[in-house]
Chains A and B, each alone.
Chain A
């Protein structure tokens, strides 16, 4: 499958990434190379096989829905680039 420039830009947008002009060219080549190789999965003998979502059998893991308080709010907030009182601060989203 051939990847177009427009497609790459669309994907970058979905991934929340900006690409510079020179990055677009390199990533196009790399992505194409890797996809050409990855295409081999389409010739694998997998007819009738289920999709595996992990290495082990999947089963639900339940626990009681109990509140456990994480005491150290300070430690959580210390990594925030911008904060106010005990809140994360973001740019205004409502015009």
Chain B
């Protein structure tokens, strides 16, 4: 048995039946990292030794019954923009190359309270700005399905590590698709929760009104389990919402009879790859067979939402990244004559090209003379997008779209054309603009052998509905079993 191919719920069963020990599990993952990391390059800071030591300690405590929770000793990987106390948190930037977080993000406290084991900090696009993980300062992560292709981004390290079985699951963050698109490109499951469901405290801010942390997992059940761990109100994040605690695994009923699925036809038009479209159409047929009602409708906001996204996200980023000035933390330039120069030189040398591009765009749309034409307009469009989704959810329980217009593309083919890279986010960004939950699950494999992702969008705080819809499809189609053949086995 290859331990690293198991889902977390399968590992849990084997721990319970004492078929496996915590140390065995961690060891298996560490070995896998050693074998595959040279090819995949998913980690910025691997924690192999630390993980093995922690596994032994937790194993002992479990044997003495000092720890009894069922996630104790389960390893995890963490995107490197989530603060981990005493460990480097780099955001894949030269700016934070040596930054050691003085505190844990709230999600990390929750992970640690479960006695889970951190296998390492995972690669990403610098400050989560990008869709291919090519904008990491450190390295380009490769797609385990085809090492010449990108894993998607910005949580590309997280998705690639899960797909290559180097971690059983991981945390990512999603501002405009950064969990769902890499999940789609790597054939795994990625969930972006409703804005406010998961605390952002300790997530290095990119665009505060859009960012959410979420799980990247091998299957839907694991997604529900990890969401159970990280969801919940936090007084340290004023945008986190007070809600009764839900056990999301209870929503997985393997039944979609009577479910009303809306298909926004604009998301299947021009620009969507033919094979992606075909695979989605087959998925729609599957849902019909399973008893869901499916209806096409018009949701004509995609282009507006995409433009609005880049205006709002960059505006917020230009403000959020103002804190990096070379004084309290982060990179400081060697040469400067005065304080102003220290700021400017440190920022100019510490930030990479895409981050600077977005800061400039954000500063532009907020600057006097352009604020009304861009930022204010974008905020109005945001209301429009929310209202259009509200209307859609009066009629439907779930909206179904592709996660991305194409499968994973080849490394180096898009990184020189920022607008083209931005346009690839067309299917995912409107969800962040409206603050909705959405999940990406694998729904097929194209003729090149690359995974295709399907996105299911729910109304606010309706994670249970999209999780059950995804689960039911997964149980009946078993795309993962095909993909389990694991291209990365050596």
Contacts and interface: CB of A to CB of B under 8 A. Distances in A.
A63 B328 contact: no
Contact of A93 (B311, B339, B359, B373): B339
A41 B100 contact: no
A27 B382 CA distance: 27
A26 B210 CA distance: 28
Contacts of B20: none
* Residue of A30, A37, A41, A42 with most chain B CB atoms under a 10 A cut-off: A41
Interface string B267-300: 0000000000000000000000000000000000
Interface string B363-374: 111010010011
Given A52-B386, A56-B196, A41 B435 contact: no
Interface stretch (B70-78, B163-171, B235-243): B235-243
A72 B488 CA distance: 43
A80 B433 CA distance: 35
B361 A31 contact: yes
A61 B238 contact: yes
B419 interface: yes
Interface stretch (B36-44, B49-57, B245-253, B302-310): B302-310
B384 A44 contact: yes
A49 B380 contact: yes
B376 A40 contact: no
Interface residues of A, number: 49
Interface in B377-428: 377-384, 386-387, 418-419, 422-423
B343 interface: yes
B100 A90 contact: no
Interface in B339-354: 339, 342-345, 347-348, 351, 353
A41 B361 contact: no
Nearest to A74: B102
A65 B242 CA distance: 21
Interface of A (DSSP majority class): loop
B447 interface: no
A16 interface: yes
B384 A55 contact: no
A69 interface: no
Interface hub of A18, A38, A81 (most chain B Cβ within 10 A): A38
Given A42-B373, A51-B380, A18 B345 contact: yes
- What is the predominant secondary structure among interface residues of chain B facing chain A? helix
Given A18-B348, A91-B338, A44 B380 contact: yes
A91 B333 CA distance: 12
B364 A44 contact: no
Given A42-B377, A55-B209, A80 B327 contact: yes
A33 to B, nearest CB: 5
B374 A38 contact: yes
Given A1-B373, A46-B384, A55 B433 contact: yes
Contact of A50 (B310, B327, B383, B422): B383
B418 A79 contact: no
A53 interface: yes
Interface string A38-80: 1111101110011111111000010100000000100110111
B381 A81 contact: no
B434 interface: yes
B434 to A, nearest CB: 6
Contacts of B326: 81
Interface of A: 1, 3, 8, 11-12, 14-19, 23, 27, 30-31, 33-35, 37-42, 44-46, 49-56, 61, 63, 72, 75-76, 78-82, 88, 90-91, 93
6 contacts: A37-B307, A46-B383, A52-B379, A55-B436, A56-B460, A80-B328
Given A27-B360, A34-B419, A44-B377, 12 more contacts: A14-B363, A15-B318, A41-B377, A42-B373, A51-B382, A52-B383, A55-B433, A61-B238, A63-B235, A79-B99, A82-B332, A91-B338
